[in-house]
Structure formats: structure tokens, C-alpha cells
Structure 1
């Protein structure tokens, strides 16, 4: 399969696409911007943020939850007002938030990373009714995902630098159990796949994985078998979401980050949004309990 170009954005580091109430939301992490796209008119609305912003998710309460560098905030789309919910990494100014997902209880699992991409200071946190705690997953340089199974039992944690994905049982107390290796992209047959980036689960528990530097998104069955590969005309595919009226339209964010002048000239659509159709629809939507 080949992805189709959907909308010109030119994001430095497009990420965190999420289908919310009939619209596509996403962020440009390094551009400090939250975006909303009308899928019919392609009209683009944007909100500037004072810090790097890793993700945007729906809330069961007022507004949206966004992951700013200093911690999760509530965003009021009407006024653009941001209200801090909690602080993280007050002792690590080079860390920022990177990716997030909502579990069956409405808890937001979100990861951090070293913005310099050097130190293993990336931690997975859980936001639960306004309180934040560590999830109990070993630290990495860049946390990605997490993706959460539609049954709510499993969390898939992506170690981007290590090029591996681990599966953790979600415990009753809202922490993660010990991880087991689920996907390994360090093998010789996957050397040219790039680095695993954002991940989501569909309605059957399949995992859609974006590949930074790999010009592709791939779907894996719950047993780890590769089922689909979608190729892109740009190198850095960061994450997809599933939406549309039937939940079978995929939207993908991409990035210009790390590309030199010659690569950017050869990839004029880097940082834009792309789309393709899928067989298995999105998992039922969830909203944060905060």
C-alpha cells in the first residue's frame, strides 16, 4: 500500500494524531503548536503553546488534555487557555513529554524523553484523576507509544533508540507489570526499517507502528505477525490514528526533523499529513478521567 498526501503542514516534528469528535487533532512538538483539522474542508486551526507539546487527548471533563514539556495541562479550545494539572521532571530541564494513550479506566499513560536524545531519563507516567505517578517501566532515552489494547489488559511500550517494543500487563492498581519483548527491529532483515515511533491499537488489538527514518507504517497482529505495510514518500513517519465515519481512515503525522537540505528537497511533503484506508477499524474511543 501507498499512503496518500492529505494536507500541507510542514511540521518540524508532527506527532500525536488523535480523532476527537469528528475532527483530526495533532501537534508539532518542536513547533509548539496544537492543530485541529476539519476532515471535509481541510480547514486548519492552531493553538500556540509556551513549551514543546507532545500530545493532545480528549477529556471526559472540560476541554482537552495536552502534554507540555513541564507536564500535563488542560486546554480550553474556545479561549486557548492552558491550565497546568501536574508537573514532572522538575529536576530534568532537558526532558520533555513525548507520547500518550488512554486506558479503559480513563487513565492517561504518557512518556517522557531526553530532548537531546542522549541520556536514559525517559520515564512512563500515569495520570489518574489529576494525580501523576510513575508506571514502573524501566527508563529509556526515548519512550514512545504507549499503545493500549482494546481489552484494556495490555500496554505496549516502544523503546525507540533500542528499536524494540515491550508488552506489559496493566495491573489493577494502575501500574505496569514486568515487560516481555513483543517486537524486535534490530534483526538483520529489519535493518532498513528505521526506528519504531508512535503506536496505536485497533479494534482487533493489532498494533499500527510508525517508523522514523523508515518511510513506512506497519501493522502487527496481537501475536506479533506483520500483516500490513504502508509506504510513504517521506522518511519520518511518526504516528497514525484511525478515524472517519467508519473508523477505517488512517491519518499519519510526519516530520522534517533530522533531514538535511538535499533530503528536504527530495521530500517536499515531509512534515505533512497523509492518509490511507484500513480493513480493521479504530478501537472504541476513550476519554481521560482527568
Structure 2
């Protein structure tokens, strides 16, 4: 099956990333990494607001204690949206100033899983981390140039992570100590078809993967079977999040990053937020147990 995505919000993101539906706010939040922005979009009212960030921001999630936690280049920061202020919670890789935080997910226990990556997208200096109740743990999934995701199965038992340059989506068990079991390959995507970017898991346990330079998103079974495709009028799809009151609308961030001036002219909607009806609902994102 092939679906078509439609424009939801024209925002011109250089590198849109990290969409998340915040239940308590009934709005979609996402970032623009390269323009150093956080965006909030209410699809019912059409209201859109943005904040400047002091560093590149890869993701934003609600915190159980209130407010939000944002993955800035230097580490995890608490964000007060009313004041537009940021406060460092924990530094991540302070000895690697050329790295930045890229993408993340919150599992059913409120643990934040996220990845770091080389900002120049070349060196294999990235790794995945777990943050839970103030404790930061480096996992055994390391030596990656561009991390994306992770995503978590509905029962919170399996973590899916992406190595974008290798074109792979892998799965591993989540262990109770914040560590991960051995990884198993789920899908390998031919680079001629695009590069796997942010993954998301729906209520049925299927994996949605966005394709950078591929003009589409794909839905795979946990066994790696391609189930359906969604086509976009732009090249760079970065990540999908399920939102709306029933979590049955899929939103997708996109990017202008690395498009030539000629291609930007052919893709005037590049960097916009898109939406489509996926025929399946998503999983609520719990707040981070901070």
C-alpha cells in the first residue's frame, strides 16, 4: 500500500527533527537543529509558536516533574517554555565538542534513550545513552557516525536503533540496568533508495522509518517485512510522530539540509511539517522520569 502525505505547516526547517505529541499539551513539538529552534504546533487551532535555543537541539520531551527536557549539543537541559530559559541537567560527552545529540525516545518506564553523533556526519564517534531519574548511562551501542532513533516496542522490551550511513535498522533487548542486549539486524536499506532516518513504532508494533533523500517513509514489521510506503513531495524525511486526540494522525518533519539551490527551487515545501492518516494509531509518549 502507498499513501500520500499532505502539508500541515510550512515552517522552512533547515533540519527538522524530534517530533513528539505531548498529551498534556495536546500539541506537536519538534526542533530545527541547524536553525536552533523549538517549535510547537496545535493542529486543531493552527497555532504555531517557536523558541530560540542556545545550541543545536535534537529533541524535546515533557518531564514528569514539569516543563520539558531538551537534548542540546552540550547535554540534557531543562526548558521552561514560559520563560524561554534553559538549565543544564547533565553534560553529555563534554570531551567530544564536535559531537551533538540527535534523536531520542521515552520508554514506558519513563527512561530517555538517545544518541549522539559527529556534527560533520563523518567520524564514528556517536553512541546511545539512557537517562533515568538523574542517572546517565552509556550503552554498549557505540562507534556510529550518524545515530537515529531509537524507538521502543509497545511493551518496552525491544529497542530499535538506526545507523544511517550503514543503512541499517537493528533491534536489541532492553535490560533492566539501562544496558542493551546483542543487536540483530532488522532491515538494511539500499542507499540508492534513501538513508534511514528517525524510526517510530506504532500501536501494532510495526516500525515506521523515514528516508532522507528518499521522498518517503516506510512501515516494516518487526521481522523486517515491508508493509507500506508513504510518498512526500520533498526529498528529506526525518522522523514521524503520531498525534491528535486519538493518536491516529502521523506527522513528519522534513529538512532542507544538503539540498542544492536548484533542488530547493524544485522543492519549495522542503523543511515543512507534513501529515497523513496511517490507518493505525501510535503509542502515547510518557514524560521523562527525571
Task: Give the shorter-chain TM-score range.
Answer: over 0.9
Q: Partners of 2:9 and 2:50 in 1: how far apart?
A: 14
Q: Partners of 2:247 and 2:228 in 1: how far apart?
A: 17
Whether the 8 Å CA contact 1:218–1:229 is kept in 2: the answer is: yes
Whether the 8 Å CA contact 1:255–1:271 is kept in 2: the answer is: yes
Q: Does 1:99 align with 2:103?
A: yes
SS in 2 for 1:196: strand
Counterpart of 2:73 (choices 52, 56, 69) is: 69
SS in 2 for 1:264: helix
How many equivalent residue pairs?
286
Give CA deviations for 1:133-185 in whole Å, capped at 9, x if unaligned.
10111320011010000100000010001000110100011211110111111
Give CA deviations for 1:182-207 in whole Å, capped at 9, x if unaligned.
11113xxxx53210000111111111
Q: Partners of 1:256 and 1:167 in 2: how far apart?
A: 29
Match of 1:167 in 2: 171
Whether the 8 Å CA contact 2:9–2:272 is kept in 1: the answer is: yes
Whether the 8 Å CA contact 2:211–2:237 is kept in 1: the answer is: yes
Match of 1:197 in 2: 197
Q: Give the Å deviation of 1:285.
A: 2.8
Unmatched tracts of structure 1, length 5 or more: none
Q: Partners of 1:117 and 1:49 in 2: how far apart?
A: 21
Q: Partners of 1:45 and 1:283 in 2: how far apart?
A: 25
Worse-matched range after superposition: 217-226 or 26-35: 217-226
Whether the 8 Å CA contact 1:256–1:271 is kept in 2: the answer is: yes
CA RMSD of aligned residues (A): 0.9
Match of 1:125 in 2: 129
Worse-matched range after superposition: 33-42 or 228-237: 33-42
Whether the 8 Å CA contact 1:204–1:283 is kept in 2: the answer is: no
Match of 2:34 in 1: 30
With normalisation by structure 1, the TM-score equals: 0.97
With normalisation by structure 2, the TM-score equals: 0.97
Misfit runs of 4+, over 4 Å: none
Q: Give the Å deviation of 1:58.
A: 1.5
Give CA deviations for 1:7-47 in whole Å, capped at 9, x if unaligned.
11000000100000310100000111111011122221111
Unmatched tracts of structure 2, length 5 or more: none
Higher strand share: 2
Q: Partners of 1:78 and 1:273 in 2: how far apart?
A: 24
Q: How does 1:39-78 map to 2 (within 5 A)?
A: 39-78=43-82
Q: Partners of 2:143 and 2:153 in 1: how far apart?
A: 22
Whether the 8 Å CA contact 2:199–2:207 is kept in 1: the answer is: yes
Counterpart of 2:8 (choices 6, 9, 22) is: 6
Match of 1:224 in 2: 224
Q: Partners of 1:147 and 1:11 in 2: how far apart?
A: 23
Match of 1:138 in 2: 142
Match of 1:17 in 2: 19
Whether the 8 Å CA contact 1:203–1:284 is kept in 2: the answer is: no
Worse-matched range after superposition: 252-261 or 220-229: 220-229
Q: Give the Å deviation of 1:245.
A: 1.5
Worse-matched range after superposition: 74-83 or 48-57: 74-83
